[in-house]
Chain A
């Protein structure tokens, strides 16, 4: 057992202190010490991206960072996306466009797309697929995830948004 270290960082805007062994991975700290269990673990080879969080303006796989490296960092997890009970455009987009099924990859997908849309507010389909390539999904086949990100991009640009799902679109029309 090596000496434990106190690490201070900002988690979803809140000052957070944790005491960890140097070997502790950020994903374990977030899940087990901070009880932010949205970020998930889908592999041990840094491929799947289920653990993706936003870290000082970067999308990082928190399974491949040590918590001690987070000293002074600003970390945003999926739990920090919604504001005042309102879903973020991406969360709404994933819901409206059926961009999730089991939901295991979704927190990482959302956090990656969050950074992608800040860097490129109007990505093409090809750009979405390329810049989301660090996130694996077993359920959706990605097609609806692309649509979900496009939905969120439109909403964040202030454009009108409408689900592309035929049944849901009809239901929305009936309600009017």
Chain B
């Protein structure tokens, strides 16, 4: 319950936050919503010497449409995602996903950027971001770089974020009208991390799959993209047989850890089942 002592900093601008991060180096952690970091600090899994609170950086908040993209500030909260009219109408997968994350109180504080940067395979946004073909803006003293979500997650709690970098913005290409979508999440109870979950975006054209993206949550060291399953579906009708084959290919890349949510066999089977359900729901929602 009681974290180790640390020094607290509240930068008022992004350059100030970056300077503080460089000044304090590895002993420093960025504080966003605080609903992953503080719990780890309370259990002394994490013992940073400096916390740099990004809470006053209003430039890291907000949801806008710019040049065919949805741009979301990294400090935008889950609750703000859920109630965004832009997302509800243009990117409902993100709303459906956010509604299944944790609970109301946590969603008032937890941020999109924090959920992504944490790099926890149990988090939901990594797979959602891969399914949405998102890209992340990483800012540092050297300027900005933009990296795709697919490839960003390199291990448990490990991402492409380098020391001194801050995830400032999430960019999602506006899904084409008529794109089907679904986030199917199996969990033991409200607020739990997924036993297995699948995010899908799907476009149909003339009775065949035009494009599909499939990403899996909590069944490997990181969120993973089921590229073979996607490839097997492209250009084909979406029916029971093709869905079953996609689920089989998705299961073939699962490597979950055994824990209280189940053994690897169970989690893998559930990843297949979530993939089947997500594809079927996305198909029902897609324009034909």
A binds B: yes
A interface list, Cβ under 8 A from B: 1-3, 5, 21-23, 25, 41, 44-47, 49, 52, 58-61, 63-66, 68-69, 71, 112, 116, 130-134
In the complex, what residues of B have CB within 8 A of residue A46's CB? Answer: 35, 38-39, 106
Give the Cβ gap from A134 to chain B, nearest Cβ, in Å.
Answer: 3
Q: Select which of B8, B53, B105 is within 8 A of A49 by beta carbon.
A: B105
Known: A59-B108, A60-B109, A61-B105. A45 touches B39 (CB 8 A): yes
Q: Select which of A3, A71, A133 is within 8 A of B190 by beta carbon.
A: A133
Known: A44-B43, A59-B105, A133-B190. A23 touches B35 (CB 8 A): no
Give the Cβ gap from B7 to chain A, nearest Cβ, in Å.
Answer: 5
Known: A22-B5, A52-B105. A47 touches B191 (CB 8 A): yes
Give the Cβ gap from A142 to chain B, nearest Cβ, in Å.
Answer: 12
> For residue A55, which residue of chain B has the nearest CB?
B108
B39 touches A3 (CB 8 A): no
For B, the interface residue count at a CB cutoff of 8 angstroms equals 29
Q: Select which of A5, A21, A65 is within 8 A of B34 by beta carbon.
A: A65
> For residue A134, which residue of chain B has the nearest CB?
B103
B42 on the interface (CB 8 Å rule)? yes
A66 touches B106 (CB 8 A): no
Give the Cβ gap from B213 to chain A, nearest Cβ, in Å.
Answer: 28
Known: A46-B35, A112-B104. A65 touches B109 (CB 8 A): yes
B148 on the interface (CB 8 Å rule)? no
In the complex, what residues of A have CB within 8 A of residue B35's CB? Answer: 46, 64
B260 on the interface (CB 8 Å rule)? no
In the complex, what residues of B have CB within 8 A of residue A66's CB? Answer: 8, 34, 38, 51
In the bound complex, CA of A22 to CA of B102 (Å): 26
In the complex, what residues of B have CB within 8 A of residue A59's CB? Answer: 104-105, 108
A58 touches B55 (CB 8 A): no
- 4 more CB-based (< 8 A) A-B contacts, given A46-B38, A61-B105: A47-B191, A59-B104, A59-B108, A60-B105
B1 touches A64 (CB 8 A): no
> For residue A108, which residue of chain B has the nearest CB?
B105
In the complex, what residues of A have CB within 8 A of residue B4's CB? Answer: 23
In the bound complex, CA of A141 to CA of B238 (Å): 43
Q: Select which of A2, A44, A64, A112 is within 8 A of B109 by beta carbon.
A: A64
Within 8 A of A (CB), among B215-270: none
> B1, B10, B51: which has the most chain A beta carbons within 10 Å?
B1
B5 touches A23 (CB 8 A): yes
In the complex, what residues of B have CB within 8 A of residue A22's CB? Answer: 5-8, 51
In the bound complex, CA of A22 to CA of B10 (Å): 11
A58 touches B103 (CB 8 A): no
> For residue A129, which residue of chain B has the nearest CB?
B190
In the bound complex, CA of A133 to CA of B8 (Å): 31
Give the Cβ gap from B151 to chain A, nearest Cβ, in Å.
Answer: 31
In the bound complex, CA of A68 to CA of B6 (Å): 12
* 7 examples of A-B residue contacts, CB within 8 angstroms: A5-B8, A23-B3, A23-B5, A25-B42, A69-B53, A134-B102, A134-B106
In the complex, what residues of A have CB within 8 A of residue B41's CB? Answer: 23
In the complex, what residues of A have CB within 8 A of residue B1's CB? Answer: 25, 41, 44, 63
The 7 A-B pairs of least Cβ separation, nearest first, read A134-B103, A22-B8, A58-B108, A133-B190, A134-B105, A44-B1, A2-B5
